[in-house]
Amino acid sequence: MPATPTWPPKSTPRLFVEQLLAEGAQVQIAGNSAHYLLGVMRLKEGAPVKLFDDISGEYLATVSNAGKRDLVLKVETKLRERESVPDLWLVQALIKKDRFDWIAEKACELGAARFVPVLTARCVVDKVKEDRLRAQMIEAAEQCERTALPEIAPLTKLDALLKNWPEGRTLYFCDERGGEQFAPISGPAAVLIGPEGGFTDEENASIWAHSAAKAVSLGPRILRADTAAVAALSVWMAAAGDWN
C-alpha cells in the first residue's frame, strides 16, 4: 500500500538496518530486532515497518514472511531522503560509562554530525566501546525519527587532537574557568567538553593557545560534563544550526 496521510499508522515501528535500502529490496531481520518486532510488537505478514539505513533515507516496508525467530521485510516505498545535518562535532572527554553513553544518545538526538571521544589527564576511564555508543545512537534515532547517525571518531589523546585539528573548523572550548559569551556563528565547528574534574592547567593552556579555539562560557553555574555537552549543543543549534 502506498504511503498516505493515514498510512502507515503512527504506531508503526522504526528500525535501523545496516543494509543499503531501495524499493523492492528484501531485508532479513534476526536477533534482538526480530524479537522486538515479533515478540513485543507481534507483527504479522503484511504489517508495516519503517526502515532507515543512515545512507539513502527512510522507507516503508511490510512483513512478507514471519517466522518464529526471524522475519523478512519487503521494501515498498521511499518516504524521505536522509536528513541533512549541520557540520557540528561534539568533542567529549571520557567520563563514567553510563554518563558517556547518555551523552552519545543526546548528541544523536540533537543533531551532531560527529562524536569525538578524547582522552585527557583527568579522565576516570581510558577506553571506549564504540559498539555501545553506536547502539545508544541507533536507539535514539529509531525513537526520534532521525534518519542520520553521528559518525563516531576513534578515541584520541587531547594533544594529538589539537595537533591534527582541521583548518577552518572553530573549536568552541567550554571553559568553566571563564570565557566570552557563547555566540556561535555558522560554519564548520566543534564543541569541546572536559571530564569530571576539568582540564589540568597544562591542558587548559594548550587549548587556549590553539589558533582554532575560542573559550566560551555556558553561564554562571558549574555544570557536570554531561549537562555541559547538552547545553553547548543546544546553544550552537539555536544560534548557528538548523533550529533557526
Q: How many CB atoms lie within 10 A of CB 136?
A: 19
What pLDDT does residue 11 have?
86
Structurally, how many domains does the chain consist of? 2
- Residue whose grid cell is 553561564: 219
Same-domain check for residues 53 and 120? no
Range of the domain at 54: 14-80
**Average pLDDT along the chain:** 94
Same-domain check for residues 124 and 174? yes
Find out whether 54 and 83 touch, Cβ atoms under 8 Å: no
Record the pTM.
0.92
Same-domain check for residues 34 and 145? no
Same-domain check for residues 130 and 191? yes
For residue 142, give the CATH number of its domain: 3.40.1280.10
What pLDDT does residue 47 have?
94
Find out whether 38 and 15 touch, Cβ atoms under 8 Å: no
pLDDT tens-digit map of 175-194: 887 789 999 998 999 999 99
Answer whether residue 65 is part of any domain: yes
pLDDT tens-digit map of 197-209: 899 999 999 999 9
Answer whether residue 6 is part of any domain: no
**% residues pLDDT > 70 (the chain):** 98
Q: Residue 235 above 80 pLDDT?
A: yes
Q: Residue 8 above 90 pLDDT?
A: no
Q: Which is more confident, 60 or 3?
A: 60
Same-domain check for residues 96 and 36? no
Whole-angstrom Cα Rg for the chain: 21
Q: Of the residues 55, 80, 105, which one is the last residue of a structural domain?
A: 80
Residues 135, 27: Cα–Cα separation, whole Å: 20
What pLDDT does residue 209 have?
95
Same-domain check for residues 231 and 112? yes
Find out whether 180 and 217 touch, Cβ atoms under 8 Å: yes
Same-domain check for residues 97 and 121? yes
Residues 171, 212: Cα–Cα separation, whole Å: 6
| Bond into 86 cis (ω within 30) | no
